[in-house]
């Protein structure tokens, strides 16, 4: 093959690969697939990825641009990772040039060198060794620097600073030719021997799980660890990883949310010390690059990270663990719509390593895979601390008078727990003060003019806020429709519950924890510290509080509105409610004191609700699985959602119709494929755009993907796409 032209992946959402010319001096170099190169693109300079030398017969353009620079000496991504990228691009139908960028941390995407943080070291030159120090008499700091360097030979800028020698002085010495400097990469350091001083005795269920998982030597086995809240799943991860680390392997641990990172990191550090590193968006670019390089070179044994960490290179990967595998945040909801859990499964298959999916509330699809025998199911039915699971008290609200959403019974229960010096958690998955503002005389409602949604009333600062498009408006002083001035706030939000509880329980702290109160970097951590002190208090929170946290002193969880989401038009709605309720309930009574959960509901006779109200997530999920089977929806069929949005709903609809026409003409529809739509999306108007969708369901994956492949080519070529924004979502999970 001639080495004149190369094919390059360019980080833009287009399907084609672009060809570039190699300058003469680079033709001798052996380029490897995956190496980063700088290329001119339009009037910009981009970082692309070398893919292969071009096949000259395929390239018929007359002029090509020269690449500017080859950044890497070798490819930073090994072959299996490049295969993973190709697979993900094919499976999620997203351009490879964009997909491959997910494998690099931000600074490498920008073209920076793949090096650890560098520090400067100083030494004296020959001239500096012989010069008479009195010549520096008027520059005492320089003199001190030179003296120190003569004495010690070689010192880092950092240690010189500790001796009081400034960088300015060193630069002066440098300019005089008396000292020289060099840069050195700071490789991560850790104690060569791990001191496992850790002596928690495993419960028999934990032991059994560890034994089974550790038995999967070098096999691509998939385990589903279904362990009730507080059953010590983390302990199981730690032990499995310990065995692997002793054999020189690495573990990749995926967690759903950045808020859980510090807690998880601390638990792992207790056992593994500085061999643990974490990777998430709260780290700066420098830190992320260092962790990435450490993982890639096999210098960290354990990497804990959020969604995108599933792409981090690991030199000696031995296991992938997906904590809270059911969590929706593992799925990216825009652009490259991948599921980190599913990518993890494929990655483990490529690397022939086991995967451990874990949750107290496994997703319907994983549960179904376990029932089918595709995954090995491991149950932890008891709490590890010996504590009982909380007792559930369903509270039928029919005919009851509520005060700001609270029944007398729930208020009484709160009072009793606080008196016993316990902590209470009130769960409401709606932030803000009230869900809408209504005019008392004409019934005007605060709707968002850009979305099919009400604007939420917020009290601090006082304003209307659309949670779907971030549209904000001041509260109206008069009704825009009838000019009357009397309004009613309708529906409960966490701010409203907070202000009510503050008045009601004056002697106790009330902490509201939702994305409004935890926007600042450290605030969530501060809240967790207050809770950890253990004094009686009331927590009010959204789903942020439901996930994974261990609050030993919370003995009562009050769920204000257990029904919300149950009647959603989304067939996944009830699964989500069940997960949330079970997870948040699991925060109660995790240590010595028994826990109680009070669930306020209007539908205690609802057949699904019955199981949930008794705390039987397992039975609930079995019922959902039956329902899904009879409706032929995932996991009993594969789904792809094609969505189009534009300033006019008719354009979106027409566009989808032309896609359907293309699909029909392609003759790729088999009898297993079912098409639904075009229909307006559940929330048709969002951020001023009108969204329509077509859903494709298929009993088998292959014909569906073949059809979407064909459609994808059409979509990238279609002239109409200038008027619409479209997306392909494989295995979608959200309907909004
Ligand atoms: P999960 O993740 O399953 O909800 P955790 O791993 O957070 O549960 O464990 C819950 C609590 O139980 C933690 O405080 C943990 O230290 C403790 N724990 C776990 N395993 C054991 C054990 N074998 N013996 C005693 N305590 C344990
Ligand atoms: Zn009015
Ligand atoms: Zn809006």
The two three-digit tokens of residue 717, written as one number? 């070529």
Least confident segment among 105-114, 187-196, 391-400, 587-596: 187-196
pLDDT digits (tens, 9 = 90+) for 326-352: 999 999 999 999 999 999 999 999 999
Q: What is the pLDDT of residue 195?
A: 64
CB 699 within 8 A of CB 637: yes
Ligand 2 center to residue 454 CA distance, Å?
A: 16
Pairing state between β 391-396 and 596-601:
parallel
Which amino acids bring their CB within 6 angstroms of ligand 1?
200-203, 206, 227, 229-235, 384-385, 550
Q: What is the pLDDT of residue 644?
A: 95
Q: What is the pLDDT of residue 553?
A: 92
Ligand 2 center to residue 447 CA distance, Å?
A: 13
Q: Residues 203-231: what's their mean pLDDT? A: 89
The atom number, within ligand 1, closest to the CA of 586 reads 4
Mutational pocket test of ligand 1: of 234, 242, 593, the residue with most ligand atoms within 8 Å of the beta carbon: 234
User: 701-717 and 79-92 are packed helices; what angle lies between their axes, rounded to 10 degrees?
Assistant: 80
Based on DSSP, count helices (H) and strands (E) in the chain, helices before strands. 21, 30
Ligand nearest to the CA of 226: 1
Asked if the model's pLDDT at residue 735 lies above 70, the reply is: no
Mutational pocket test of ligand 1: of 201, 207, 229, 230, the residue with most ligand atoms within 8 Å of the beta carbon: 230
Nearest CA to ligand 1 atom 20: 232
Ligand 1 center to residue 209 CA distance, Å?
A: 14
Q: Best-predicted range by mean pLDDT among 332-336, 540-544, 589-593? A: 332-336
Q: 3-class DSSP state for residue 129?
A: helix
Instruction: Name which of 347, 376, 332, 367 is nearest 635 in CA terms.
Output: 367
Instruction: Name which of 402, 406, 397, 404 is nearest 424 in CA terms.
Output: 406
Nearest CA to ligand 1 atom 16: 232
Asked if the model's pLDDT at residue 53 lies above 80, the reply is: yes
Greater model confidence, 503 or 153? 503
- What is the percentage of the chain residues whose pLDDT exceeds 70? 96
Ligand nearest to the CA of 454: 3
The atom number, within ligand 1, closest to the CA of 550 reads 7
Model confidence at 192, pLDDT cuts 50, 70, 90, reads low
Model confidence at 157, pLDDT cuts 50, 70, 90, reads confident
Asked if the model's pLDDT at residue 567 lies above 80, the reply is: no
Ligand nearest to the CA of 447: 3
Asked if the model's pLDDT at residue 661 lies above 90, the reply is: yes
Q: What is the pLDDT of residue 614?
A: 79
**H helices present in 247-299, as ranges:** 261-272, 285-296
CB 277 within 8 A of CB 292: no
pLDDT digits (tens, 9 = 90+) for 418-450: 999 999 999 998 999 999 999 999 999 999 999
Question: Global pTM?
Answer: 0.91
Model confidence at 613, pLDDT cuts 50, 70, 90, reads confident
Q: What is the pLDDT of residue 458?
A: 95
Q: Residues 139-164: what's their mean pLDDT? A: 86
pLDDT digits (tens, 9 = 90+) for 65-96: 999 999 999 999 999 999 999 999 999 999 99
Model confidence at 368, pLDDT cuts 50, 70, 90, reads very high
Q: What is the pLDDT of residue 573?
A: 85
Q: What DSSP string runs through 663-705?
A: HHHHT---TTEEEEEEEEEEEEEETTEEEEEEEEEESSHHHHH
């Amino acid at each position: 093959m001639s080495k004149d032209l190369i094919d390059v992946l360019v980080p833009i959402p287009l399907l084609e690969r672009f060809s570039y010319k190699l300058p003469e001096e680079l033709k001798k170099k052996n380029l490897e697939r995956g190496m980063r190169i700088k290329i001119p693109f339009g009037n910009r300079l981009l970082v692309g990825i070398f893919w292969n030398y071009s096949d000259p017969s395929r390239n018929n353009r007359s002029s090509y641009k020269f690449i500017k620079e080859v950044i890497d000496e070798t490819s930073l991504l090994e072959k299996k990772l490049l295969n993973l990228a190709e697979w993900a691009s094919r499976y999620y139908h997203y351009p490879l040039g964009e997909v491959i960028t997910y494998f690099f941390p931000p600074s490498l995407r920008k073209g920076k060198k793949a090096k650890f943080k560098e520090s400067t070291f100083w030494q004296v030159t020959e001239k500096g060794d012989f010069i008479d120090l009195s010549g520096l008499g008027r520059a005492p700091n320089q003199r001190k620097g030179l003296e120190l360097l003569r004495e010690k030979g070689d010192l880092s800028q950092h240690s010189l600073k500790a001796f009081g020698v400034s960088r300015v002085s060193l630069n002066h010495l440098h300019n005089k030719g008396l000292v020289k400097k060099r840069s050195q990469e700071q490789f991560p350091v850790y104690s060569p021997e791990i001191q496992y001083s850790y002596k928690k005795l495993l419960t028999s269920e934990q032991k059994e799980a560890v034994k089974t998982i550790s038995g999967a030597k070098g096999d691509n086995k998939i385990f589903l660890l279904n362990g009730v809240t507080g059953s010590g799943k983390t302990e199981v991860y730690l032990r499995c990883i310990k065995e692997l680390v002793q054999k020189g392997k690495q573990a990749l641990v995926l967690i759903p949310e950045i808020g859980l990172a510090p807690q998880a990191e601390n638990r792992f550090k207790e056992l593994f010390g500085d061999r643990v590193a974490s990777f998430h968006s709260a780290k700066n670019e420098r830190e992320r690059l260092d962790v990435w390089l450490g993982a890639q070179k096999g210098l960290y044994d354990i990497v804990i990270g959020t969604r995108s960490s599933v792409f981090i290179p690991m030199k000696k990967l031995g296991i992938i663990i997906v904590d809270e595998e059911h969590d929706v945040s593992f799925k990216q909801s825009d652009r490259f719509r991948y599921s980190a859990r599913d990518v993890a499964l494929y990655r483990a298959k490529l690397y022939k390593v086991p995967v451990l999916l874990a949750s107290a509330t496994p997703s319907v699809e994983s549960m179904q895979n376990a029932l089918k025998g595709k995954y090995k199911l491991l149950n932890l039915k008891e709490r590890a601390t010996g504590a009982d699971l909380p007792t559930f008290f369903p509270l039928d609200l029919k005919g009851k008078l509520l005060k700001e959403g609270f029944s007398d019974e729930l208020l009484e229960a709160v009072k009793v727990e606080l008196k016993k010096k316990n902590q209470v958690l009130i769960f409401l998955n709606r932030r803000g003060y009230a869900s809408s503002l209504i005019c008392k005389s004409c019934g005007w409602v605060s709707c968002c003019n850009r979305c099919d949604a009400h604007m939420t009333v917020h009290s601090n600062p006082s304003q209307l806020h659309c949670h779907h498009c971030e549209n904000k408006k001041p509260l109206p002083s008069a009704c825009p429709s009838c000019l009357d001035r009397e309004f009613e706030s309708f529906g409960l939000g966490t701010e409203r519950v907070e202000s009510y509880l503050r008045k009601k329980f004056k002697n106790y702290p009330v902490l509201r924890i939702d994305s409004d109160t935890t926007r600042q970097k450290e605030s969530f951590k501060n809240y967790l510290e207050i809770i950890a002190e253990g004094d009686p208090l009331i927590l009010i929170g959204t789903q942020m509080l439901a996930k994974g946290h261990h609050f030993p002193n919370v003995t009562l969880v009050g769920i204000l509105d257990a029904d919300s989401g149950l009647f959603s038009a989304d067939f996944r709605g009830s699964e989500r409610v069940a997960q949330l309720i079970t997870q948040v309930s699991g925060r109660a009574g995790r240590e010595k004191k028994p826990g109680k959960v009070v669930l306020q509901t209007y539908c205690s006779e609802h057949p699904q609700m019955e199981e949930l109200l008794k705390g039987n997530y397992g039975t609930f999920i079995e019922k959902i699985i039956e329902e899904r089977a009879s409706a032929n929806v995932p996991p009993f069929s594969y789904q792809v959602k094609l969505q189009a949005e534009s300033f006019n709903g008719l354009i979106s609809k027409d566009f989808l119709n032309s896609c359907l026409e293309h699909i029909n003409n392609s003759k790729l529809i088999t009898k297993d494929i079912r098409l639904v739509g075009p229909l307006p999306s559940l929330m048709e108007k969002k951020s001023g755009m009108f969204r329509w969708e077509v859903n494709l369901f298929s009993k088998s994956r292959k014909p569906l993907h073949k059809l979407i492949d064909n459609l994808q080519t059409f979509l990238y070529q279609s002239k109409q796409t200038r008027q619409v924004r479209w997306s392909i979502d494989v295995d979608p999970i959200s309907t909004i």
